[in-house]
Amino acid sequence: MKYSIKQQFIDFIEAAVICSLVILLVYAFAGQPLRVQGSSMVPNFTDGEQLIAEKITIKTEELKRGDIVIVKHPARLDRLVIKRVVGLPNEVFLIKEGLVYINGASLNENYLPTDVKTLGGEAIKESVEYQIPEGDYILMGDNRENSTDSRNWGALKKDLIVGKAFVIYYPLSKARLIS
């Protein structure tokens, strides 16, 4: 049975519309491709790496310390930034002598090079305890000397978190799942 050119064209348009809708739904609700820009997450993420941020688990599970998240920049909501969850809701957070303390205990940040020192900022000052409000998170870049983060903005509301980094897919030499 031969299709007419008109029927082939209609079938093509139908398939294109369905594919476009599926892609749009996945982008809006499940995952979003992003490109790392800047050096705030060096050495763990570098400028130009491309990743997929998944959007489902931030709605179904609690964030954990160490999660890599994509958030709306609090001063420029149209801009997305990548940061690490360091402080959780209702915790007492302190930066003192280059270290981070959670509820009085020094935080083991094994994802950072051993020589990294964390200094206070405008919103979270050195040697001042900070009670993280319910529903808020302290987020920091891994490159603490070159990161604008919660130390400058304060704790961020969960609704500013867009997704969790899931996989680096480009460049292929650095492709990996993000845990």
Query: What pLDDT digit, counting tens, does each position of 19-56 carry?
Result: 777 767 666 666 778 888 888 999 998 899 998 899 88
> Strand 99-102 to strand 68-73: parallel, antiparallel, or no bridges (unpaired)?
unpaired
Q: What's the pLDDT score for residue 155?
A: 95
Q: What's the pLDDT score for residue 177?
A: 83
Question: Is 179 annotated in the active site?
Answer: no
pLDDT confidence bin for 77, thresholds 50/70/90 = confident
Domain boundary assignment for the chain: 5-177
Residue 160 neighbours by CB distance under 10 Å: 19
Q: Which of 2, 20, 39, 40 is catalytic?
A: 40
pTM assigned to the model: 0.82
Q: Which of 55, 83, 147, 150 is catalytic?
A: 83
**CA-to-CA distance for 97 and 117, rounded, in angstroms?**
8
Question: Is 83 annotated in the active site?
Answer: yes
CA-to-CA separations, 150 to 27, 50, 87, 93, 155, in angstroms, rounded: 27, 24, 10, 11, 6
Q: Which residues contact 173 (CB under 8 A, 6 or more apart)?
A: none
CATH topology of domain 5-177: Umud Fragment, subunit A (2.10.109)
Tokens 């305890």 sit on residue: 129
